[in-house]
Every structure is written in structure tokens, then in C-alpha cells.
DNA sequence: CCTCCGCTAGATAGATCGCTCTAGTCGGCG
DNA sequence: CGCCGACTAGAGCGATCTATCTAGCGGAGG
């Protein structure tokens, strides 16, 4: 089926955008990487490169969101989940030779002031991640407000650690951010337990 | 003097790169924004756009490093410094209509896998920030190792919060990351005080 | 079988890219 | 003054950019 071509275009774009950004990737390079005919790109994405960019953001965002969900399993220890998540992120960064970090951060920074539809797509993805992680922490027994703050802190720490890690070619920032985030979750859990005990 | 032209080119480039990235900014746009003759760009930067990019990274990095230093004054409370720094960052983000966040993060992500000299420039800048902030925390009474971890966590938290904040058009991530970082510094200071008391 | 249409295929347009080149201006110095 | 080097000024090169256009392939439905 021909839909496979569209999928290949999206996947190749996702990989290229992640490594070299949106503006730094040409449509010719995309179709070459995807082994797709040039005309197909404009057949599936009549809105051109910008529409492709938006769909790639949402696609990559959904994949990475599932990855987050895979670590923060309801009912299991959120402290261990946080630690494991950052450890896995550090390993993936290292194994890809510091190329594959966040799939949308590069594009997000590029387009936040230049393309409203793409910026909106990034915002939707980030909000999805925040809400998802937050929900899992709530299920882990933390108060809603505290969970949201932790989720934002955690995602911000990861994104920033990726920025530093890619430039420094080191996993240290991811490891350090992971330790700090894990500690923050541990304290939140402890504080909540203490509150429950006090209440009875 | 003619050096003023070079300075205008660097400053205009810094602003454009920060908002739309390196690949998304053309040299024609740079000289137009700087009101500089086109030929001057290649007179001052014979290495072309890449050399300009590298110098802009180092220039912007130095400016922002001074900003960090201005908040973390030796002898003053590092907890308050952290809080004030993030508060100021949130205000700057809001006032620039979510355009001016980190001056080099966008470029750092773009070039980390595509230009070794520019990637190295970003690494040098980040290392400078980390060492600078770390040194200030040491002067504030914290152990060296703990200071480095805090500095990395703080800078990563800020960078990530900028990524989220620009896309979401909200200062919430910066505020939340600031609160988390401030709390981490507060705990480190408290722990160090306790250690000192125990030792006598 | 034939027609229709989703899709493939790529040539090509028109603009823009980074960059080179020559010509010219200007101030300072011998 | 005469000269020289630093800088200005922009035309223009080849390459590459995004996007459009026409032409044709090939399977499904009438």
C-alpha cells in the first residue's frame, strides 16, 4: 500500500529533523533518505514542508510520550521509574553517538518564533507529556499540584540535560539531572507519606 | 572605526540565531539587519558563515556568563541568587514575547551533529558556565563535587525550561524549574551546615 | 475490457543560498 | 602629495532551496 511511502517520509524526516533541525534539512534530502519519489511528498503533504514538519512533530511526540509511559507504570515505584528513565536516556544518547536526544527540542527552538502551526504542535506535544507524566505521579500517590510541578521539572531537566549532553558529548548532564530529579520525586513521596501519617 | 561594523554583524547575528537558529538565518539577512555591507562580512570572517557562527556562540556565551556571575555574587546567599536568577529569566522571556531565552541553545542543538568547530564552541561556553556557577557555589560554602552537580542541574533545568517555555508561550516551566533548583540549593546548604556542626 | 484515480516519477521554475570577485572609497603615513 | 592597506559596496556565480507541473504507472470498480 502507498501509505507506507508516507510513513517512510515521516520517519526519515523525524530522524533528520532530530539531528540537524528543520531549517537544516532539505526536502530533497528527506525523499532521498526515505527512498520516496519527490512528487509523493507534495501528494501526501500538500501544505509543503511546514505541514510535514507539523506532522513529524506530532508523530515523534507521540512515540516519545509512549516511551515515558512505558517507564512510569501505574502502581510501580515512581522513584525507580524516574531513575530508570534518565538512565535509559543517558544510554540512548551515548549509543547514538550523542545524536538522538529529544526528537522535537531542536525543531521546537527553531520554530517557536517563526512558525505558529509548528510551534502549536510542539506545545501540544509538551503539554501531552506533562499531563501524562503528571497523571502517573498522581496515580503514584502524589498530590495533583505537586505532580504537575514534578513533571514539568523532570521534563525540563531532561531537555536541558540533552542540550548540554549533545554539545559536551557527555552523559554527565543527563546522569546529574536524573539524580536531582530522582531525589525530588523521592522527597515528594516521603513528604506525602508523612502527611498521610499525620492525618491518620 | 571599522571594527564597529564587525561588532554590529556579531550582535545582529546573535539576535537572529537566538530566535530562528543558525540554518534558518541567511547571511543576506544578517548584513541587512546589521546595516553592514555584504563584502564586510567576508572581510571580517574569511571562514564564512561557520566562522561567524563560532564567534557569535563565544560572544553570546560570554555575555550570558557575565549575567550568571552578576547574580551569584561571592559572599551572598546562593539560595537567593538561584531564586533571583530564575525569576529574572522568566521576566526576560515574557518581555521578549517568548523569543529571547538562551542565546546559544538553538544553535547548540542544530550544530552538535553537523559542525564540529561550532559544537566545540558551544561545549566551551557550557563548560565555562558550569565551572563559573560551580565556583560561586564553592565560595558559598558548598563542597566542590556537590557544587558541580548543582551547577549542571541548574543550567540544565534552565535550558529545558526555556525549551518548554518558548513552545508553550508560558513562564510556568521557568518558574517551576526555578523553585525546584532553589530548593535543591537550599537543601545542599542545609546539609553542609549540618555537616559542619557535626564536625565541630 | 476500460476508465478512473491514487500514486509515482522527475523535469523544471523561480527564489534564495553561501560565497567570490572586482571596483571604489577613505584615512593615515612616508 | 602619493601610496597603501583597510574597509565598503554590490554585481553575479553556481548550487541548492521549496514548490509546481505534466506525464505515466497500476490496481480497483463499473
* pLDDT tens for each residue of B145-167: 999 999 999 999 999 999 999 99
pTM over 0.85: yes
Spell out which residues of chain B touch residue A112, defining contact as CB-CB under 8 Å: 98-99, 166-167
- Which of chain A's residues 117-146 bind strand D, using a 7 Å CB cutoff? none
The reported pLDDT for the residue numbered B1 is 45
Closest alpha carbon to A107 in A22, A188, A8: A22
- Give the pLDDT score at A66: 97
Give the pLDDT of residue A2: 57
**For residue B4, is pLDDT > 90?**
no
In whole angstroms, give the CA distance from residue B153 to residue B140. 17
The reply to whether the CB atom of residue A42 sits less than 7 A from any atom in nucleic acid chain C is yes
Q: Burial of B199 by CB count in 10 Å (0-12 exposed, 13-18 middle, 19+ buried)?
A: exposed
Cβ of A39 less than 7 A from strand C: yes
> B102 falls in which pLDDT band (50, 70, 90)?
very high
Would you place residue B41 in the very low, low, confident or very high pLDDT band (cuts 50, 70, 90)? Answer: very high
**Could you tell me the distance in Å between the CA of residue A16 and the C1' of nucleotide D21?**
28
**Ordered per-residue pLDDT tens for chain A, 200 residues:** 457 889 999 999 999 999 999 999 999 999 999 999 998 999 999 999 999 999 999 999 999 999 999 999 988 899 999 999 999 999 999 999 999 999 999 999 999 999 999 999 999 999 999 999 999 999 999 999 999 999 999 999 999 999 999 999 999 999 999 999 999 999 999 999 999 888 76
Half-sphere exposure of B53 (CA within 13 A, CB side): 29
Cβ within 8 Å, pair B179-A149: yes
pLDDT at residue number B126: 98
- How far is residue B188's CA from residue B8's CA, in Å, rounded to a whole number? 43
Of A167, A176, A184, the CB nearest to B112: A167
pLDDT band at B199 (very low <50, low <70, confident <90, very high): confident
Amino acid at each position: 500500500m502507498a501509505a507506507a511511502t508516507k510513513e517512510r517520509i515521516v520517519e526519515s524526516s523525524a530522524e533528520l529533523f532530530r539531528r540537524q533541525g528543520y531549517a537544516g534539512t532539505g526536502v530533497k534530502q528527506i525523499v532521498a533518505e526515505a527512498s520516496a519519489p519527490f512528487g509523493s511528498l507534495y501528494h501526501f503533504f500538500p501544505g509543503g514542508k511546514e505541514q510535514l514538519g507539523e506532522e513529524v512533530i506530532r508523530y515523534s511526540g507521540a512515540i516519545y510520550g509512549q516511551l515515558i509511559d512505558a517507564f512510569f507504570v501505574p502502581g510501580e515505584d515512581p522513584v525507580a521509574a524516574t531513575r530508570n528513565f534518565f538512565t535509559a536516556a543517558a544510554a540512548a544518547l551515548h549509543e547514538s553517538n550523542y545524536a538522538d536526544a529529544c526528537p522535537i527540542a531542536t525543531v521546537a527552538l527553531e520554530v517557536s518564533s517563526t512558525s505558529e502551526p509548528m510551534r502549536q504542535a510542539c506545545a501540544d506535544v509538551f503539554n501531552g507529556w506533562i499531563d501524562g507524566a503528571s497523571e502517573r505521579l498522581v496515580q503514584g500517590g502524589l498530590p495533583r499540584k505537586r505532580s504537575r510541578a514534578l513533571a514539568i521539572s523532570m521534563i525540563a531537566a531532561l531537555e536541558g540535560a540533552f542540550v548540554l549532553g549533545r554539545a559536551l558529548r557527555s552523559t554527565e548532564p543527563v546522569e546529574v539531572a536524573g539524580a536531582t530529579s530522582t531525589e525530588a520525586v523521592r522527597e515528594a513521596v516521603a513528604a506525602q507519606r508523612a502527611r498521610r501519617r499525620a492525618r491518620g
